[in-house]
Amino acid sequence: MSTDTDTTPASAGVTTLTPAVVIVGAGPSGLSAARELAPRVGGEVLVLDRESTAGGIPRHSDHPGYGIRDMRRFMSGPAYARRLVEQARAAGATIRTNATVTGWAGERTLEVTTPQGRLRVEAGAVVLATGARERPRPGRLIPGDRGRGVYTTGHLQNIVHLQHGKVGRRAVIAGAELVSWSAALTLREAGCATVLMTTEYPRPDSYALFNIGGRAFFRPRIATRTRVSRIIGKPDLRAVEIENLDTGARRIVECDTLVLTGDWIPDHELARAAGITLDPGTKGPLVDSAFRTDRPGVFAVGNLLHPVDTADIAAIDGARAARSVLAWLNGGSTPDGQVRLVAEAPFRWVTPEVIRRGDPAPARRRLLLWSDRFIPFPRVVLRQDGKVVARKRLWWPASPGRVFRVPSIMLTSVNPQGGPVSIGVED
C-alpha cells in the first residue's frame, strides 16, 4: 500500500493528487472510515479538513460521555478526538488540515485550497463526512439587537476550551436537549450561571437521566412551550424577551449571554454543489443502507445524514461505510431496484432513505428517525401500497431533540418490488 499521495504538477499552480480514497471531514465518522480503509486499499487514503486540528466537534467538547458505543470507553471529547486521529494515522491514513474543499472538477475530483496552494484531488472514491452544525441566530430569525454575547454551543465551547476566553456571568440557553446540557456544563466551567433554559416543547427534549441530573447539578429554571422572541442590548447583550407559545405572554429575562443550542442543519454545501439528491427531511444526502449517494463512487456518512446523533454513532457509520467503499473500489455494483422509505408525521425524517435487496442492513440494524412529538411507547407502523406490512410496539420513547431508533428487522416484510414504504405511528 502506498503511504504517500501521488502528486502531479498541474497548470496554473495547481497540484494534482491521486489517492485511492478521499474523505472530506476529519470528525468521528471521517476518521473512523479512514482507520478502516487505510490498511485495506491499494493506495492512499487522504482525509481533508478545513480546521487547523483534526477531530471534529469532540475536540472542544471537554466533558465525558464519548466513545461508549464504538470504543467501549467513557472518555472526554478531546481525548476521544485525539484517539480517533491516532488510530487513523496508525492505520496509514494521511490527514491534511487547513484544507478547504471548494468544489468539484469531475465525478470524483475535488478542488481544494490550502495555505500552500491549490490542489486537485482525483480519487477512486469520495466519502463526504462533513457533519452538521447548529443553526445560527440569522437562520432562526430572532428579532432584536445585535449585541455581543450570543453564541451557538460549538462557538461557546471553542471560545472556552480552545481559546480559553471569557463569557458573561448570567446565561439563557435556548434549548433543553442533550447539547443544551453540554452548553450548561461549559458555561459553569467558564464561571457563568445558567439562569434559564427554554424549549418550545411541553417537556425537556433530553433523556430523563440527563434532565434529572442536569436539574440537580445546575439547578436551572426550564421554561417549556417557550421561545426566545427578542434579543435586547447593544453593543453588549443585556436581556432577552421570552414568549409562552400557548398564552402569548411575554417577559424579560436579564442576561449577558445567550446560547442557541440544537436546531441542527447538515453541512451539505459540497453535496449540493455536486448535484447529489438531498432528502427533504434531513437536508442531507439521500443514501441507501450502504451509504451510497446517487453519484457513483460518492458516499456520505455521519451527522451529514442524521443531524444530529452522538459522536460514537457517527463513528460507527464511518467504519461501516468502509465496506461499501471497498466494494466499489473492487468493482462491485449497486443492486438493481430500490424501495424508498418515507417518514410520516410525527416523524420528520428517516435514514437511510433507500433499501435494496442484497444490501447490508443499516448500521447497528437500526433505522434512525426524528420525531416532532413526545410519544412514550410508540407503536410504529410501516405501510406499503396501501397495506400495513409491519407493526411493532417499542418500549422506549420517541422525543424531539434526539434520534429515535427503530429495529430494521421491521423491513423484513417489505416487498422489494413494491412502492415506497411510509413509517409512522398509531396513536
Q: With pLDDT > 70 as the criterion, what percentage of the chain qualifies?
A: 94
What's the whole-number average pLDDT of the chain? 94
Classify domain 3-133+265-334 at the CATH superfamily level: FAD/NAD(P)-binding domain (3.50.50.60)
- Count the neighbouring beta carbons within 10 Å of the beta carbon of residue 83: 18
Residue 96 predicted with pLDDT over 60: yes
How do residues 173-220 score in pLDDT, each as one tens digit? 999 988 999 999 999 999 999 999 999 999 887 666 555 565 556 668
Closest by CA to 424, choosing from 395, 394, 412, is 394
Q: How far apart (Å, rounded) are the C-alpha atoms in residues 193 and 232?
A: 19
Q: How far apart (Å, rounded) are the C-alpha atoms in residues 372 and 228?
A: 19
What pLDDT, on a 0 to 100 scale, did the predictor assign at position 211?
57
What band does 4 get if pLDDT is binned at 50, 70 and 90? very low
How do residues 380-416 score in pLDDT, each as one tens digit? 999 999 999 999 999 999 999 899 999 999 999 999 9
What pLDDT, on a 0 to 100 scale, did the predictor assign at position 243?
98
Q: Which set of grid coordinates corresponds to residue 200?
A: 418550545
Contacts of 31 (CB under 8 A, 6+ apart): 47, 54, 55, 56, 84, 85, 87, 88, 93, 95, 315, 318
Contact between 398 and 378 under an 8 Å Cβ cutoff? The reply is: yes
Residue 9 predicted with pLDDT over 60: no
Which amino acid, residue 272? R
Contact between 128 and 285 under an 8 Å Cβ cutoff? The reply is: yes
pTM of structure:
0.94
Closest by CA to 78, choosing from 67, 88, 89, is 67
For domain 136-262, give the CATH number.
3.50.50.60
Which alpha helices (H) appear in 55-106, and where do they start and end?
A: 77-91
Distances from the Cα of 215 to the Cα of 40, 204, 210, 327, 362, angstroms? 47, 11, 8, 48, 35
What pLDDT, on a 0 to 100 scale, did the predictor assign at position 215?
59
Q: Which set of grid coordinates corresponds to residue 312?
A: 460514537
How do residues 258-314 score in pLDDT, each as one tens digit? 999 999 999 999 999 999 999 999 999 999 999 999 999 999 999 999 999 999 999
Lowest mean pLDDT: which of 41-55, 118-132, 192-206, 328-342? Answer: 192-206
